[in-house]
Amino acid sequence: MTKDHARPLTIGIDLGGTSLRVASYSPAHGILQSLCLRTRLEAGPIAVVEDMCDAVQDLMSRDSSADWLGIGVGSPGPLELPAGRLHHPPNLPGWDGFPLLEELQTRLKPRIVLEGDANVAALAELHHGLGKDMQVDSLCMLTLGTGVGNGIVLNGKLWHGVTGMGGEAGHMTVDREGPECGCGNRGCLEVCASATAIVRAAERLIDSGKAKALAELKEQKRQLTAFDIATAARSGNEDAIAIYGETGRALGICLAGLINILNLPLYVVGGGVANSWDLLSPTLFEELELRSYVYRLTAPGRPAAGGMPNGGTQVKPAKLGDEAGLLGACLLPLESIEDTRAADVAIVN
């Protein structure tokens, strides 16, 4: 088979603190085959890199007629780019200073594109989720899970900042006297609106002798989750309702700032906490109306919404779920991070 007939494919790797997922991807047909492994954190970063490479070789050997455009890797951060080095990643203990990109490049032939996991999710949402539905080429995504990730796409390209550390709105201060965060700050979005923050807020109430029903629930379940608290809120528990109300406010304060700074057509809220959109969105939109005059002018139906795609600034829960990380990683080699990579994009589209 000549190169002319080779199918252009990519490989995507979604590196998480718990699991490692690897897939082959066709721009025409989506994900072809995928593998899911446990991330062997106890064996150290080199062992995990070797597991990644074995999985990649396995998938590549199954498709000998492919023209491999590259390998996209989504990694927990903080990630220094273009160096591709990790700095104290909270979800990958023992990886501080690890040159992930370099270690992969030594072991694998195709071009490797490394990216923070929140950026990867934003890219997936742009090309396969809300961004595609709304035909926008700029968006800002906040991923509310154990922590809070953030990815910003401007004019179709991920915004990295000069050292790959842009898009850390998860550590923007929303309450200057708020709880302490692992990042060293206090009152970041992450300690006010992540799944962890929701559980901690419930535990603070329980510890202070309030929230009797949540205390009983904790007694039953041993460990509360953000989902348990959402279920309690939906059954009418006032404390749980208040916790999600505060989560929506924190998220609204952060998004109001992002709307004022960036004036994008679409803001996406993803991660597990976004499943409780019904509980957090009322206070979220109250804060947007209060705190962002850009939102007040550009929300659907407002005076300056006319110039915007889809009739105004949209703030919505993510369309893609857990698969966003793997799908986005597969898309990375098709993206141009540097201008020199633009040619690849032209080939595959």
Question: Which residue has tokens 């199918």?
Answer: 7
- With CB under 8 A as the contact rule, the residue among 1, 28, 162, 346 that binds a second copy is 162
- With CB under 8 A as the contact rule, the residue among 127, 160, 218, 316 that binds a second copy is 160
Q: Is 161 in the site for a second copy (CB under 8 A)?
A: yes
In Å, how far are 30, 146, 218, 254, 314 from 215, measured between CA atoms? 46, 22, 5, 30, 37
Of 207-246, which residues contact a second copy (CB under 8 A)? Answer: none
Q: Is 300 in the site for a second copy (CB under 8 A)?
A: no
Q: What's the rounded Cα separation, in Å, for the pair 210 and 202? A: 9
- With CB under 8 A as the contact rule, the residue among 6, 32, 134, 183 that binds a second copy is 183
- With CB under 8 A as the contact rule, the residue among 184, 209, 236, 301 that binds a second copy is 184
- With CB under 8 A as the contact rule, the residue among 186, 200, 319, 341 that binds a second copy is 186
- With CB under 8 A as the contact rule, the residue among 93, 94, 309, 321 that binds a second copy is 309
Q: Tell me whether residue 164 or residue 271 sits nearer to a second copy (CB atom).
A: 164
Q: Is 37 in the site for a second copy (CB under 8 A)?
A: no
Q: What's the rounded Cα separation, in Å, for the pair 166 and 145? A: 19
Q: Tell me whether residue 30 or residue 97 sits nearer to a second copy (CB atom).
A: 97
- 197, with CB counted inside 10 A (0-12, 13-18, 19+), is buried
Q: Is 21 in the site for a second copy (CB under 8 A)?
A: no
Tell me the number of residues near a second copy by CB under 8 A. Answer: 57
Q: Tell me whether residue 44 or residue 97 sits nearer to a second copy (CB atom).
A: 97
Q: Which residues bind a second copy (CB under 8 A)?
A: 78, 80, 82-83, 85, 87, 97, 138, 150, 152, 154, 159-169, 171-176, 183-186, 188, 253, 256-258, 260-265, 290-294, 296-298, 303-304, 306-309
